[in-house]
Structures are given as structure tokens and as C-alpha cells.
Structure 1
């Protein structure tokens, strides 16, 4: 027997007053269900897309920061402890953080109540990340709600979702009276005119330019037509491009001589105001450009209000307007739009018949009817999985919960950066101008910005985009066009102190520009990075530093993400990989399985480079060497107490000699984290995840002194661990080492690729005495 409606019903998504379609939908659904189930307490969790939160109504009981993974876990705790009987999630890839919105999965893995997920976007050709996210989302949802038959079809064919898990519920709409449009036209001052309407957040994908191009043909036959474009430009578009799209539409209308027939109303209107605009409409236009749109709330609103629609054949429109319930026209075809509109205006009887049928069918779409169908879905979810949230608390042992990483805090990095780049050193936590800047640190900082933007999953934040621009500009200035080499050191007065930097600094710049080329979401950054990478790559062939070879291999790997057929990069990858293999074969012995006769600095980068290159070039010998060398490096950097102890910079570790225990440097912990994560990606052996965690915890106090190097209050990291104390200075290299390690650990936490059969990994040798 189905369970009754739960006492507490939670909703998750955007929420008004945030300006987006998902926020409006979540708000309207929550209110409709609350009215349909007066015995239940309905509350919402709102996903914030900006630092300064919105002024939410009391219905919103908790908030999530889109890009903060820990806030999703805290939200799961809130839902569990507040006995939510069901969680209704609004899913759209773009509103959650992480790759393809993967942050949401951190919440779904921990909630103890049934989950009903409404899928607002269902991709028929997802990329690998989107596919992995959707597969886990489907697996962790008890019921899946789609708004069109096409959505259920894609779920079955593309994602193998079981049909009996899917509920078809239309997009909800407000209940509007079916009255003559003249009533509302008088209120809006367009009486006596035929009104065409497009509404919603404005952006290039809406295809409004094609509707404007259709106007001359429409106006020639019906001079009393006015086209009303209602809605604000999408806030994210305004943040990055301003009003360029709207201005281009206005110029187009002027050039075509129809500016007297176009009204732009640049506002996000209230529901009451929207009802008036829809009421005044004769024909609704949706000239969208992409077929793969499974849901359109604006289309649902006007169709259910009994309006004739002329639309391009995106999926939702194909389904809703079939059998003569509207007019479908080809994509990007102004003449067809004009013909479709005029066919209605020329035939008032047909226009009225279309309106009558749309309004009749729309009665199943009004919010009270939709709310009842959601309540039935909630009952089914609870019947199929009876949840007991509070009793599940007993199982929340440390072993069962995800590893919690520190929250992101960039205060010190911002403090260390100016319009030139990031300064090298700090006295305590104050930037040291005297030491100036270096390419090494600006390269690291640029890599960090790209990783943080990837973690965000959407457009770059204002801070990271601004910082990345400064760091990339520094790298561009560092490249000496006469030598093809990057300079390294610059004074605070912006004077270069050398004609060429070290091989290592040049290779770190290559690594950074390769990363920008392969990962940046900023088109200008991506193009400039590729240009710098290609100009500075050839000189590496003459380099002799093994670490420069390794850094270059890491940069090549990143660059090949978007230029997989670049022959010079692939050839150099093969050459540098072979050099590291030869270096190993010439030096390694059973008791010293290493590349050189001493282990010095950034040691694990040699292993990491071989892991990555072995995968990219299918080189089993390189993979075997990477596994052996990293296994040995772990063994000599782990104490009997089980914590990470990097080889100290005060003497390093020479074959046959005693290893230096101090001074321990943050870059060693960071490089070990990176190498262990690369080993895990190559083998899927959980051993490497445990070792990455061990190395990362060195920053947090799991070290020889039991003292944290990371300052959680300001986001800085100490320059090293001495025998008796932590360094009091927080330079760029050390702070960036921590934040790069944190970013990589977060990226690893979001990786959802299915695990292949693990390759054998050598067990680390016994730890030396502590």
C-alpha cells in the first residue's frame, strides 16, 4: 500500500529571487505542492551562483554555494537531521558546481531519504563527463521526472534508465482565464495591434534575430503587427559580454526598417505582469536554434494559456505542437517564420481553433494538476524505498563518509598578487616587494586558476578570471622573442633580471601554457596560451634537466587535450619519455630504484610525467618504471608512525648516504599528491588514493611536528617545516603548492570514471625508522 504524503518535503534548485528558469520552476513547484498537501511542511534549498546571497523568502531553509563542494555535504546533513521524507531535485548541468554539475552527487551520496529528480535537460549525445554524472544521478534517484515523451526515450536509449523509474509530468503553468486579448492590450497600450511575443532570459541561443528578420515580410501583409521581446538578458551573459546581443538585435531591427514594430522590455517580470503580457499576445514565437531542448517553460506557459505558437522544431515543441496544435518551421529560416505567422493572421478562424485546443489541453498542465502528479511520484518513491534518516546516523563512521577537504580560501593569493602578477616571497603574510616576481610562481598560479575554474563547472569567477589574466600576461611578457626562452626573475619595478631563465622555469611556463590551452574557459586565454606554448616548445629539445623534461611532458599532456594531432608535441613527448626511461635504466638498481644518484627536489614529478605519458603513448615500460619509482619514493618518505616525511632540502638524499629530514618543502607534498593521483588514474588501485591523502595531510599537521603549515584563517601556507618549528613566512610557491594540491584532491573526488581492472602496483618498501 502506498505510504502517505511525507510530513516534510524538501526541494533543491535555484530559487526566486534568483533570475533563471530553474529558480522560477523550483519556487512555483514548491508553492504548488505546499498548497496541494496542506498537512506537509514544504521547504527549499537554494543554490547560489554568487558570493552575496539572495534575499530569499522563508520557504528557503538552507543554501548551497554552487562551487563549494563542502556546502553540498552540509546540505545533506541538514536534510538528514531534519527528517525530510523526500527530496525533489531540479537538475540542470549548469546550476551545480564541478564538472558537468558533479558537486550535486556529493549531496545525493549522503542523503538518507528518497530522491525524486526532475530532469530539465537530457542530452542525447553527452560527453564523457556528462554521461558519468547522469548515470550516477539516475542510479541515486528513486524516481525520474521528465516533461516530454522524448525525454523518457533518451533516458532509455542513451542512459539505460528503466522505464518503470520514469514519471512523465508536464511543465507546470499558472492558471489563466481564457479571455479576448483586447482586454490586456488596452492595459499595455498596444490596443488595435496584433502582438507577437517572445519571452524569457535573453541570449544568443534564442534565435530572436531570425524572428526580427521575418518582420519585414509580416509587416508588409499586416502593418499593425508589433513584436514584443520580453525579458532581461541572462545575468551570466551580462557579466561577460554586457548587452551586446540585445544591442545587435536593436541594430538589426533598425537596419531592416522595422524598429517601429519591435518593443524590447528589458526586465525580469513578476508572474502577475507576465500574465498580462501573455494575455495580450496573439501569436507566440520560439525561434530557438538547437533541436536538443527537451523542456521550455516559456512554451508551456503560453500554450497552456491558449495561444497560437510558431516555433522551430526543438524537441519539446515537436511534441507539444504536433497534430496541428501549433506551427513548426525550420531552424534559421525567417521566411518560414513569416509564412507561419501570416497563415494565422490571414485566417482568424484557424487562429481561434488553435487557441481553443491549446487551452483545453493546458488544463492538465496547470500547477494544481501538476502538484498532484508530483505527490503521486513522491508516494511511489517512498513506497519503493522506505527511508529512515535518523537511524542511518549510526552508520556514519569515518570509514563510510567521504574525506572532507578544507574549503577554498584565496585571500593570501589575492593579497600576494597585483596587476603584474604574483610576488615571489612574503615576510610573514605580507608581500615582499624587494624580491619581485618570477615565472615559476606565475606559471603555478595560472595553472591553479584553470583548475579552480574547472572545479566551478561554469564560467570563470570574477576573481579567478582577473587573476588568471594577470598571470598569463606575465608569462607572455616573460617569453623573450629573440631566444624563444622564458625569462624568470623580474624586479618589483618590472625590469627583467636575465635574458633567459633556467630550464626548469621555462618548462614550468610550458606546463602552464599547455594547461591554459587545454583547459581554459576563456577563449582569449586559450588562444594566447596555445600561441606561447607552440613558440616556446622547440627549445626544449636541447634541455638536459630531467625535471624540465617532466614539466614539459605535463604541459604537452595538457596541450594535447585540445590539439591531439599536433605532431611536434607528440614527437617531443615520445622523445622526452624515452630520455626518462634511459635515465632510469642507466641508474636504477634493486636497492636504489631511482632516476639519478640523488633524490633532490620535486622528485615525484618524474614519476607523474611517466604515468601521464605512458597512458597517452601506450608505453608499458614507462608505466612499469613509474610504478616502481613512485613506490620506492613513498617508502623513503613515510615514517613508521605512518605520516608523510618529504626528503629535506637541507642536503637531500644521495645514494649511499643519509637522507635529509629537514627542511621539508610544500612543493614535495604537492608533487607527491599529483603523482599518486596520476598513479590512481593509471591503475585504479586505491592504494594511490590513500597515499595522496597521506601526502596532503602533511599540510594540515600530520607531519613530524604535528603542526599545520596551512593557515585556514587566511589561506596562506608556510614556506617549510624546520626541525623545531614551522616557517613563519608564507611565500607564493608554498601557498600555491597547497592550493594546487587541494584543487587536485577536489578534482579526484569528483572523478566518476568506472574503474578498469587494476594493474599490479608494487608494494612500498618498509618505512625507515622514524
Structure 2
């Protein structure tokens, strides 16, 4: 089987590029040929440039084309539209990372527009964009989401029949298990925020929660937090300066002791498993934008949570996106998004009942075995084989 992959790939700094790279390697290990037909070049968001890129590829070489959709990108969406028009016999599939929509913003909208103008344009054009998304969705042979709620909402919003949208969980690496650090009260509760560090991730709520814990005698000085992950310049810096520096200033204003926090921006990939396993749990305080909520609900999986599962560590997460579903397997605790007092109460509960950390870890380890990339790759391979048999019989 030969698959053309339309997706961002490293060295782009985003979660979908990381996912696509791991997905490609997992499929190749199953004997599938996965090719990036454009040589890794970013897809143009201008229709004329994109058409030129697409015409320079012999698409007849491939059994099917698979795209990774999401992250505010339009190129992959427009490429699928082009293929639906110009290669109608080709099987088209996609993993939708931000259901319940395919693309969210008007395809072709310049990304360099001032933020308020871009948001206004997306809102005003939403009915037309949605109609365009539904038209493409009907043309796709299979759509995959990484969460169950995402599959349900995408099928409903795109008005697709049963059997078109499938849920395949986010794959994870196979990482040898390591014991938890000493549980409280023998040691502090060690928390890790891991992921791309930029506004909207709710990191401020964690700092606020730590300050609240400092006010109580039985929780004071009993929590340590490490903030680690990528700091891409295009999302970490803006007119107001460095977001990372603003977090440091917030910690100082809240009176958090220096030894409570460790900063590990731009963490090398080789150090990720060891750092995660040096902590008791990963904290994922994501928020949801009310502006995006006007267009739909983002209910995709978290790549950071997938790392926690792979490393056998539980999570403490907000109920934003589909995190509650991802922590519903006994592998974590959930609190109301944006509520730092609720987060502080959740952490206080773990300090009082540290055995829950061990239970979360054991469930995460079990989930990690189920979601190891070889098993996930087999699920995708079976899905593609079914799609190709339908073409052969139909």
C-alpha cells in the first residue's frame, strides 16, 4: 500500500507535526509506504499557488491520500478539495484533530491579518465555511478522530452517515515503566506541565492554585511544579513581549518560592520520558476560547496527555476540549476549566490521599499498552484496507 501524506512535519513546532511524524513511522513499520509528495514543503494557502503545487505531483502513484487536519491550518483542507475535484477516483481520508469542524477558518484567509480582523472574518464567514466543510466531508472516504466525543460531534455537524467517522485513539510510544517518586508525605507532590507554552493553555491557573495552597498550613510547601515544553516564537512572543517572562513575573507577584518552580523550555526530545517519569502527575489546565465556541467545540485529544499515558503517569486536567474523556479511564482527576480554586482543591485531595496517584499511574500504564503505536497503526491499516476494498467492489 502506498499512501500520500498531507500534513505538517518536523521541524514545524506544533503538536500535529509531532503526531504526523510518529504516525508515518508507525505505518511504515507495518510495511506501508508513506510519502510526503510535496517533499515536506508547506502547502500554500493561496489557491493558485496550491493548484501549481498539486499539479506537479503524479497522484496516480498512490492508493490513497491521507491528511492531518487541524491547528488552524487551511492548506491540507484546500489540497483535499483540489483532489476531490481533479482526482475523483482517488480515495481520500483524514484525521481531524479539532472536531467538530474540519477547518474552522475561511480557507485562503491570509494568516497575517491582524488578529481581530481574522477572528471577525472567521465568524462572519462561518456559514459559508461550514457548507464548504460539509461538502468536502461527504467526499472523504473515511474520517478519523482521536476521541469518541469528537467522532460523535463531527459526524453530527458534518451530517455524515453511520460508518464514515471512526475513533482511533492517539497513539503513544512504548516506554519502559519506572516507579513513582516517593509519595507524599515522604516527599512533595511533583507536577509537570508539558506541552507548547503559549497563552490559552491555562498555565496561569496552575500558578494561582499553587498560591492558594501556600495559604493553608497543611499544604504549604508541599507541591513542586516543572514547566517544560516548546516555546515557538510565533506563539510565545507577541506585542506584549515574552509570555514565558510574564509567567515568571506572575509567580513572583504571587509570592511563589523559587524552589517550587522549575523552568524547562525547549526540552530536548530525548529527555521527555525521563522528565515525565520524575513526576507524580502531569497537569493540563487548558481553557477554551469563547470566540472559538461561537464556531463549534474543539474536542480533540491532547498530545501531552498521550505522553503521560506512555510514561505511566496520571493527569490532573481541566474539563476543556475532550480532556474529561481522556482522563475517564481511572488515569486522572478532572476539575472545572479556569477555576484555580477547584484545581487547588483537587491537588489538596491528592496530598491527603496520595495512593490515588499510584492508581492513576497504574491505569495510565494499562492505557499506554492499549494505545501503543503498533496497535494504533494496525487499526489505521485495517481502516485503509476496508476503504480500498470498497473501491474495488464498487
DSSP 3-state at the match of 2:331: coil
Contact 1:115 1:381 in 2 (8 A): no
| Structure 2 CA distance for partners of 1:149 and 1:265, relative to 1, 3 Å | same
Aligned to 2:50, which of 60, 72, 75? 72
**In 2: Cα distance, 1:174 partner to 1:9 partner:** 22
Contact 1:72-1:107 within 8 A present in 2 as well: no
Distance 1:378 1:113 in 2: 12
Aligned partners of 1:103 and 1:81: how far apart in 2?
12
Q: Distance in 1 between matches of 2:128 and 2:276?
A: 39
Q: Is the 8 A contact 2:277 2:312 kept in 1?
A: no
Q: Is 1:383–2:377 an aligned residue pair?
A: no
TM-score (norm 1): 0.43
Alignment match, 1:609: none
Q: 1:102 deviation in Å?
A: 4.1
1:208 equivalent to 2:198? Answer: no
* DSSP 3-state at the match of 1:363: helix
Matched, 1:273 2:264: no
* 1:433 counterpart residue number: none
| Aligned residue in 2 for 1:176 | 175
2:26 corresponds to which of 21, 26, 32: 32
Residue 98 of structure 2 aligns with which residue? Answer: 121
Q: Among residues 11, 14, 18, which one is paired with 1:20 in the alignment?
A: 14
Seen in structure 2, the aligned counterparts of structure 1 residues 197 and 130 have a Cα distance that, compared at 3 Å, is farther
Gaps of 5+ in 1: 1-5, 47-60, 184-190, 388-770
Structure showing greater relative contact order (alpha-carbon pairs closer than 8 Å, 6 or more residues apart):
2
In structure 2, distance between residues paired with 1:211 and 1:239: 21
Give the match for residue 144 of structure 2.
Answer: 145
Distance in structure 2 (CA, Å) of the matches to 1:116 and 1:282: 38
How many Å apart are 1:104 and its aligned residue?
A: 4.7
For 1:102 and 1:86, locate their aligned partners in 2 and report how far apart those are by CA, in whole Å: 16
SS at match of 2:190: strand
> Residue by residue, what CA displacement relative to the aligned partner does 1:29-70 show, whole Å, maximum 9, x if unpaired?
001100122xx3222256xxxxxxxxxxxxxx3524433434
Match status 1:42 vs 2:42: no
> Over residues 468-490 of structure 1, what are the superposed CA-to-partner deviations in whole Å (9 max), with x where a residue is unaligned?
xxxxxxxxxxxxxxxxxxxxxxx
Closer, same or farther: CA 230–66 of 1 in aligned 2, 3 Å: farther
1:116/1:377 contact within 8 Å kept: no
The count of residues paired between Structure 1 and Structure 2 equals 355
Residue of structure 2 equivalent to 1:232: 230
Q: Deviations along 1:84-104, whole A, 9 cap, x unmatched?
A: 112110001622249xx5465
Aligned to 2:157: 158
Aligned pairs for 1:336-355 (under 5 A) are: 336-355=342-361
Residue 711 of structure 1: aligned partner: none
1:256 aligns with 2:248: no
Contact 1:96–1:104, Cα closer than 8 Å, also in 2: no
More strand by share: 2
2: CA distance, partners of 1:241 / 1:36: 46
- TM-score normalised per structure 2: 0.82
Q: Give the one of 327, 334, 355 matched to 1:328.
A: 334
* Aligned: 1:105 with 2:81: yes
Q: Which has the larger helix fraction?
A: 1
CA contact (8 A) 2:155 2:165 kept: no
Name the CA distance, whole Å, in 2 between partners of 1:167 and 1:337: 33
Q: CA deviation at 1:341?
A: 1.8
Report the equivalent of 2:245: 247
Judged with a 3 Å threshold, the aligned counterparts in structure 2 of structure 1 residues 382 and 243 are, in CA distance, closer, same or farther, namely farther
1:513 corresponds in structure 2 to none
Distance 1:356 1:222 in 2: 28
Could you tell me how far apart the structure 1 residues matched to 2:377 and 2:232 are?
28
